[in-house]
A and B are shown apart, each in its own frame.
Chain A
Amino acid sequence: MPSLTPAAEPERSPWRDALLRFRRNKAAVTSLVFLVCVTALCVIGPWLLPHAYDSTDWDALKLAPSLTNSHWWGTDESGRDLLVRCLMGGRISLMVGILTTLTSIALGVVWGATAGYLGGVVDQVMMRIVDIMYAVPYLLIAILLVTVLGRDFYLVVLAITAFSWMDTARLVRGQTLSLRQMEFVEAARAMGVTTPRIVFEHIVPNLMGLVLVYATVTVPSVILTESVLSFLGLGIQEPMTSWGVLIHDGAQMLDSAAWLLILPALMLSLTLYSFNYLGDGLRDALDPKDR
């Protein structure tokens, strides 16, 4: 019997194919580069700049942005350098955004895939819990959490996670319901593969494209939620700051110092915009119909 030769191309995982398609998408690549730059600036910027985020420059209260003095982005009404505060705020906002997205996506994937694959009563119970979580007013719980446990960065992450994993769980469950009908899942069952292995080794890798796209949309929404919590005094507290806090403070100074609103808002919106573009690019790159 003649042997069949495999395709001549080198090993190409579905991920590699997606990467090749992603690289052709200019807008998505630009967004990714922008996000990397912003993140890098937020991480190292505060060390390189001459001002500290919480020290007052008494000679420069509410100074307008200019390149002629050391406060390029100006100062706020307490004489604190806006650029450093924007970068520090970016650290907090991005950290909350990424950390919370990771935890909420992880929880949502495990929850949704388990419910979707096991089905039946387990599915019913697990998804009713999701429904209940949707019905709970999250601000109320956030206020309770903060009152009982005190203000803390990780508490913010926990509080936002607790109320943002359900979307992922529903999405993943729906996808799992259709994946479990696939023949390769049946084939794995026929081979005696244990249930946890089927869920986490066969189904979850097939979900990762969808989840990745969803994660890029979750990051901005988490950053916004953090702004809301901070605005209500439940999140990040002075003198530490985040983009949400900066925008809130800047909005009050709109008449006399518009830059205090415009510059942080610009950073936040460009970042959110980039995340959305990145998500768009990933969705196109990972679309199996384009394979």
Chain B
Amino acid sequence: MSTHSSLLEVKNLNVHFQTPEGELQAVRDLSFSLRQGETLGVVGESGSGKSQTMLAMMGLLANNARAEGQVLFKGDNILNLPTAQLNQVRGPQLAMIFQDPMTSLNPFLTVERQMTEVLQTHQNASRGQARAAALQMLEKLRIADPLRCLNSYPHQFSGGMRQRIMIAMALLSQPDVLIADEPTTALDVTVQAQIVALLRQLQQEHGTSIIMVTHDLGLVAGLSDQVMVMYGGRVMEHAQADDIFYNTRHPYTRALLESVPRLEHADDALLAIPGMPPSLRNMPVGCPFAPRCARADNDCQRPAPLSLVTDGKPGHWVACHHTGATA
């Protein structure tokens, strides 16, 4: 990890949705920072607000959504910038890969046209230059016969190939930060491993910072420097990856880790977290995890502030009233 100051800093991000049933809050008071070359893993169940956080940073929220707070990229706030100014940042400097490679490519355009678009839009590259750069990037991602790949249409590729093309596309303009929103969820396990290896290698070569959004703890363990666990739109625990896995403080993180099936305990019943994640329409007043938490008591009727673990390593934040006792 480099010692530079933060490349990307999110401060007190809140995301609200206006709906016919009233206002819903999808992300609550979220803050984190990311240095150059660092990887942040964002973990949480569906509906925990992790994707909305990323979309808010990219200015891609739905029309009925409103984001508040600050997203400082290289010191400038890019949250809620007008589209024209935002387009100077997203793409060339802040890129994103989406969950489903099957639908993230335009079925009617060749791979070349989609890949070169970002260079032609942002760097005024000629067609030839852009094509050469795309070819080079495809080679770097070990795509066989890159020339033919450029002239092909998305439906001619498998999911893993398409995700590689998406990654190649995102990396083409050499962004400083790459947001990967569940990049391997739609892929099978062997391809997942390849994609992760690829991301790690590219990160080493270019010093790209990565935000990896996922619900796969194994993926996070393999790739991340720091991990942020989200639940019900809040950060539950945020620490260095090792501390999340070996010095777990939050009951939710613990429950998540316990519910990962393990081969060596194949005979045991699968451990699941009882209950359902809370609906945004019906968020508990206090700690959002309290209704499903074995340790919940009266204290949990008021929200637990995100605070530093006093006896832990520096930079270990947790939002629970019972941190001390769970160690």
Binding site for B on A (CB under 8 A): 1, 3-7, 9, 11-14, 119-120, 182-184, 186-195, 197, 201-202, 205-206, 208, 288, 291
Closest to B156 in A: A7
Given A12-B153, A187-B98, A206-B108 in contact, is the A1-B117 Cβ separation under 8 Å? no
- Measured in the bound complex, the distance between the Cα atoms of B107 and A171 in whole Å is 20
9 contacts between A and B (CB under 8 A): A1-B194, A3-B144, A4-B160, A14-B107, A187-B166, A193-B91, A193-B117, A206-B107, A206-B108
The digit string for B144-170, where 1 denotes a CB below 8 A from any CB of A, is: 110011011101111011001010011
Residue in A9, A119, A190 whose beta carbon sits within 8 Å of that of B58 in the complex: A190
Instruction: Report the minimal beta-carbon distance from B1 to chain A, rounded to whole angstroms.
Output: 25
Question: Are B155 and A14 in touch, CB under 8 angstroms?
Answer: yes
Given A1-B198, A14-B155 in contact, is the A6-B161 Cβ separation under 8 Å? yes
Chain A residues closer than 8 Å to B151, beta-carbon distance: 11
Question: Are A6 and B109 in touch, CB under 8 angstroms?
Answer: no
Given A119-B63, A192-B118, A205-B109 in contact, is the A6-B91 Cβ separation under 8 Å? no
Closest to B198 in A: A1
Binding site for A on B (CB under 8 A): 58-60, 63, 83-84, 86-92, 95-96, 98-100, 103-110, 113, 117-118, 121-122, 142-145, 148-149, 151-153, 155-158, 160-161, 164, 166, 169-170, 194, 197-198
Question: Are B121 and A183 in touch, CB under 8 angstroms?
Answer: no
Chain B residues closer than 8 Å to A11, beta-carbon distance: 110, 148, 151-153, 156
- Measured in the bound complex, the distance between the Cα atoms of B88 and A202 in whole Å is 20
Question: Are B100 and A183 in touch, CB under 8 angstroms?
Answer: yes
Chain A residues closer than 8 Å to B142, beta-carbon distance: 1, 3
Instruction: Report the minimal beta-carbon distance from B153 to chain A, rounded to whole angstroms.
Output: 5
Pairs A-B, 6 closest by C-beta atoms: A192-B91, A192-B87, A205-B108, A191-B91, A190-B96, A3-B142
Question: Are A3 and B143 in touch, CB under 8 angstroms?
Answer: yes
Given A6-B145, A183-B103 in contact, is the A14-B153 Cβ separation under 8 Å? yes
- Measured in the bound complex, the distance between the Cα atoms of B60 and A189 in whole Å is 8
Question: Are B117 and A190 in touch, CB under 8 angstroms?
Answer: no
Question: Are B104 and A184 in touch, CB under 8 angstroms?
Answer: yes
- Measured in the bound complex, the distance between the Cα atoms of B95 and A189 in whole Å is 10
Question: Are B95 and A190 in touch, CB under 8 angstroms?
Answer: yes
Residue in A4, A195, A291 whose beta carbon sits within 8 Å of that of B161 in the complex: A4
Question: Are B103 and A182 in touch, CB under 8 angstroms?
Answer: yes
Residue in B110, B152, B158 whose beta carbon sits within 8 Å of that of A4 in the complex: B158
Instruction: Report the minimal beta-carbon distance from A123 to chain B, rounded to whole angstroms.
Output: 11
Question: Are A9 and B108 in touch, CB under 8 angstroms?
Answer: no
Given A197-B121, A291-B155 in contact, is the A187-B104 Cβ separation under 8 Å? yes
- Measured in the bound complex, the distance between the Cα atoms of B157 and A9 in whole Å is 11
Instruction: Report the minimal beta-carbon distance from A235 to chain B, rounded to whole angstroms.
Output: 38
Question: Are B144 and A5 in touch, CB under 8 angstroms?
Answer: yes
Chain B residues closer than 8 Å to A194, beta-carbon distance: 84, 87, 121
Instruction: Report the minimal beta-carbon distance from A111 to chain B, rounded to whole angstroms.
Output: 21
Question: Are A202 and B106 in touch, CB under 8 angstroms?
Answer: yes
Given A1-B197, A3-B144, list of 8 further CB < 8 A pairs? A4-B158, A6-B143, A6-B157, A11-B153, A188-B106, A191-B90, A193-B121, A202-B106
Instruction: Report the minimal beta-carbon distance from A197 to chain B, rounded to whole angstroms.
Output: 7
Residue in B121, B158, B164 whose beta carbon sits within 8 Å of that of A192 in the complex: B121
- Measured in the bound complex, the distance between the Cα atoms of B122 and A183 in whole Å is 21
Instruction: Report the minimal beta-carbon distance from A3 to chain B, rounded to whole angstroms.
Output: 4
- Measured in the bound complex, the distance between the Cα atoms of B156 and A6 in whole Å is 7
Instruction: Report the minimal beta-carbon distance from B158 to chain A, rounded to whole angstroms.
Output: 7
Chain B residues closer than 8 Å to A195, beta-carbon distance: 83
Closest to B166 in A: A187
- Measured in the bound complex, the distance between the Cα atoms of B88 and A191 in whole Å is 10
Closest to B108 in A: A205
- Measured in the bound complex, the distance between the Cα atoms of B105 and A12 in whole Å is 16
Closest to A5 in B: B144
Chain B residues closer than 8 Å to A201, beta-carbon distance: 109, 113, 117
Closest to A11 in B: B151
- Measured in the bound complex, the distance between the Cα atoms of B194 and A40 in whole Å is 58
Question: Are A202 and B143 in touch, CB under 8 angstroms?
Answer: no
Question: Are B91 and A190 in touch, CB under 8 angstroms?
Answer: yes
- Measured in the bound complex, the distance between the Cα atoms of B104 and A115 in whole Å is 23
Instruction: Report the minimal beta-carbon distance from A284 to chain B, rounded to whole angstroms.
Output: 18
Chain B residues closer than 8 Å to A1, beta-carbon distance: 142, 194, 197-198
- Measured in the bound complex, the distance between the Cα atoms of B98 and A9 in whole Å is 27
- Measured in the bound complex, the distance between the Cα atoms of B117 and A202 in whole Å is 11
- Measured in the bound complex, the distance between the Cα atoms of B152 and A139 in whole Å is 49
Chain B residues closer than 8 Å to A206, beta-carbon distance: 106-108
Most buried by B among A6, A184, A192, A201: A192
Closest to B103 in A: A183
Residue in B83, B149, B197 whose beta carbon sits within 8 Å of that of A6 in the complex: B149
- Measured in the bound complex, the distance between the Cα atoms of B60 and A191 in whole Å is 11
